[in-house]
Amino acid sequence: MRIYKPRISVSLNKVKNDSFGGGGFLRNLERGGSIDLTPFMGLGGSVHTSKSINEPAGTFSISFPDKMSEEHSDSVYGLVEPMDQIEIRIAHDHQSAELPIIMRGFVSSISRSETIGGDGKPSRKVNVVGQDYGKILQIIQIIYLNNSVIGDNIISGFKMLQKYGVDASANPPIQDFVRDVFTEIVDKFVGNITDTMQIIPQVSAEGRVRGRVINDFEGGSLDSLLRQVSDVSPRFNEMFIRDGEDQVDFILRPTPFRDLDGAQIQGEKPEEITIPRSDILSRNVIRTDSSVANLFWVRALGSPLMTDKMMRLNRQIRPITDENADPAVYGVRQLEAVTNLMPPDSEPYDKLTLEKQGEFEDSGMKWQKLRSDLLRDVSKDSVVFESGTMRLRGNENLQIGKTIMVDGGESEAYLLSVDHEYNMYQSYFTNVSFERGTGFIVRNDRSAPYLEEMSS
């Protein structure tokens, strides 16, 4: 019988810039220094990490008994401050010295609790809470404020270009826009905090950014701006942070859904992680008609050359009658969405001559139809796909944006969220939520699905 020995490593790097946190108050731990938190975990220590494609940032919570650091003659409570960098590594059964990365992030708060037991002795615990690198995209705020200088309230150009040096006036491809945002804004901010890791943008989404959308942005987090301009939605594109061994990736890609036959609807096939059925401790699945749709329309935000009314006049639509979305069974259900991206092959506004206006309109119409067809392909069979949750034996390989395969491909599902729970010297579990599960589809091909399930 094989004995598994879950292991954990938690380390902390101090915020680099003296303008952050306690400044000169930290006598015993230098700026940019590091400390290994693993020895402080002890019995009763725990680590919980959570990532979701639908959330702007992953979160972590680290709890451990309060002990003194002999090197610094202080509690960890006195050594950690907001914006320090945390690195969490966990493995269920890993033999090498370097454990696989689970999450990198930044401290948001640190607290210490104290209780007096029945024997009159105090019991203290330290709790460190924070978020992964998605926190950076949340705390960087795009704020348009006018200064007191006369005339500064007159904005003659695009705000992003004026304030931050990011030029979207020529409707650049989304890859170029994201690259410029990270170069001009994100990299400079992260470099002010830490030298250990930058965020590397990995963009495979297609389309051109509308300068008009960016210019009309009223302000808010950088995360909300990127989501707005790049069509981040359950059916178009997805955006999330993924921690790798050597870098932190910012991923912006087409949502990689598959159809009933396993063919890719859009995007590239996600990485597959296979688990044995014996790793599943509990599973809850559901099929519902709540996401069924059979009439689809993608609105255009409008431009002087292409309005939504114009597109409605030029393209007549009707409900689809596919078996899994038949209006005779489910009624007419419309799904309407907005695309903020322009066609990838369209000409930038600044190069649009009078002769090319017709080509621009034609390109816009084709793009709108492609987006509508994408809504159709993703939605039409949603009633037969499963969504749900699973509680598993700890598995450090499971990450959001990957496909989980059960029993060597018996069924599969797309991972929306992944939570890791580690209790020192006690247990390691992984909880996941998923969608586009094929369990019902697979069992439908069996002659006696219930009996096969009971015998396996």
**Which range is most confident: 47-56, 257-266, 314-323?**
47-56
Contact 113, 124 (CB under 8 A): yes
Higher pLDDT, 284 or 161: 284
Highest mean pLDDT among 129-138, 185-194, 407-416, 444-453: 129-138
Distance (Å, rounded) from C-alpha 383 to C-alpha 290?
8
- DSSP letter at 427? E
Contacts of 98 (CB under 8 A, 6+ apart): 89
At residue 29, does pLDDT exceed 70?
A: no
Q: How many CA atoms lie within 13 A of 17 on its CB side?
A: 11
Distance CA 165, CA 161 (A): 4
pLDDT band at 150 (very low <50, low <70, confident <90, very high): low
pLDDT band at residue 194 using 50, 70 and 90 as cut-offs: confident
Instruction: Express each pLDDT in 38-54 by its tens digit.
Output: 988 888 899 999 999 99
The tokens for 38 are 């693993």
More confident residue, 270 or 97: 270
Residue 146 has pLDDT above 70, yes or no: no
**Number of neighbours of residue 216 by Cβ within 10 angstroms:** 11
Share of the chain above pLDDT 90, in %: 50
Query: Higher model confidence: residue 341 or residue 350?
Result: 341
Of 72, 84, 190, 90, nearest to 128 by C-alpha is 84
Indicate the average pLDDT of the chain.
85
The answer to whether residues 403 and 307 touch, using CB atoms and an 8 Å cutoff, is: no
More confident residue, 357 or 435: 435
For residues 264-282, average pLDDT: 93
pLDDT at position 226 = 95
Residues 340 and 141: their CA atoms lie apart, in Å, by: 21
- Position 304 scores a pLDDT of 57
301/233: higher pLDDT: 233
The single-letter DSSP state of residue 141 is: E
* Torsional sign, CA 190, 420, 408, 412: negative
pLDDT tops 50 at residue 135: yes
Tell me what pLDDT residue 158 has: 60
Which range has highest mean pLDDT (136-145, 306-315, 340-349)? 136-145
Q: Is 72 helix (H, G, I), strand (E, B) or coil?
A: coil
pLDDT of 418 higher than 90:
yes
**pLDDT at residue number 431:** 98
User: Where on the phi/psi map is residue 273: left (φ > 0), alpha (ψ -120 to 50), or beta?
Assistant: beta
**103 and 245 Cβ atoms separated by less than 8 Å:** no
**pTM (2 d.p.):** 0.89
- Per the model's pLDDT, the better-predicted residue between 142 and 180 turns out to be 180
Distance separating alpha carbons of residues 330 and 328, to the nearest angstrom: 6
> What are the structural domain ranges in the chain?
7-132, 138-255, 295-383
CA atoms within 13 A on the CB side of 172: 14
* pLDDT exceeds 60 at position 130: yes
Does residue 91 register a pLDDT over 60?
yes
Of 167 and 415, the structure prediction assigns the larger pLDDT to: 415
Could you give the CA distance from residue 66 to residue 152 in angstroms, rounded to a whole number?
A: 53
Q: Which two tokens stand for residue 209?
A: 């950014």
